[in-house]
Amino acid sequence: MNWNNLKGKFIVIDGPDGAGKSTQTLLLKEDMEKQGLAVLPVRDPGGTAIGEKIRQILLDNAHGEMSVRCEALLYMASRAQLFSQCISPALAVGKCVLCDRWVSSTYAYQAVAGRIGPEVVLQLAQAALERTWPDLTIIIDIPSAVGLARVGDRPDRMEGKGNEFHRKVREAFLELAKGRADFRVVDGSGTVEQVHQRIREVVKTYVSS
């Protein structure tokens, strides 16, 4: 694998709650750095001082009255700051950016499961962001019941929306990825290392294409 082909690339790891995105983002970052690649890992929402405050508001169980449109706007606001402050400058100097979640999450959680509609989310993204889609989005797919079981008995506000909501989230991710060359779906079952190897294969294929 020629890791240098990932210079200046924007890669997102996304998927349902409990899929192991943060762990897999870290493992992929470590792989890349071992090969001498400059990598910027970020998370969405968050990744900046402003974004982390927005994240706290979004995930706080005390904010149960928050509307889905408010959610979508807050996620996009955090994302706008993250892109302008961190992602865009990193890409400009040839770093590979690895992001835990992106617009694909707002599509799945708010547009589809939250029922505000894909057109609303895509319009928000186009207004808020210099760039809507990354070079490659890797969706880690797991059944919603498995993901929620991994979350445990102290879910945040989004994780606590119930199995039916999260079933729709999973379906939305799979539907979004269908037929798109810039999306890949990875089986999230098995051990952490097994999932990591599947992601490595996806990146290897992407680099070679």
- In angstroms, the CA 15 to CA 18 distance is 8
- pLDDT of 135: 98
* Structure token pair of residue 63: 């904010």
Residue 33: C-alpha distances to residues 25, 195, 196 (Å): 12, 19, 15
pTM above 0.75, yes or no: yes
Fold adopted by 3-208:
Rossmann fold (3.40.50)
pLDDT averaged over every residue in the chain: 96
Query: What average pLDDT score do residues 37-46 get?
Result: 98
Confidence bin at 3 (pLDDT 50/70/90): confident
User: pLDDT for 153-171, tens place per residue?
Assistant: 778 888 888 889 999 999 9
- pLDDT of 8: 98
- pLDDT of 108: 98
- pLDDT of 94: 98
Kindly list the domain boundaries of the chain, sorted by start residue: 3-208
Confidence bin at 27 (pLDDT 50/70/90): very high
Catalogue the long-range contacts made by 171-176 (C-beta closer than 8 Å, 24 or more residues apart): 171/112, 172/107, 172/108, 172/109, 172/111, 172/112, 172/113, 173/14, 173/15, 173/16, 173/104, 173/108, 173/139, 173/141, 174/139, 174/141, 175/112, 176/104, 176/107, 176/108, 176/139
Q: Is the peptide bond before 143 cis (omega within 30 degrees of 0)?
A: no
Given the structure tokens 């792989």, which residue do they identify? Answer: 31
User: pLDDT for 83-142, tens place per residue?
Assistant: 999 999 999 999 999 999 999 999 999 999 999 999 999 999 999 999 999 999 999 999
- In angstroms, the CA 43 to CA 122 distance is 20
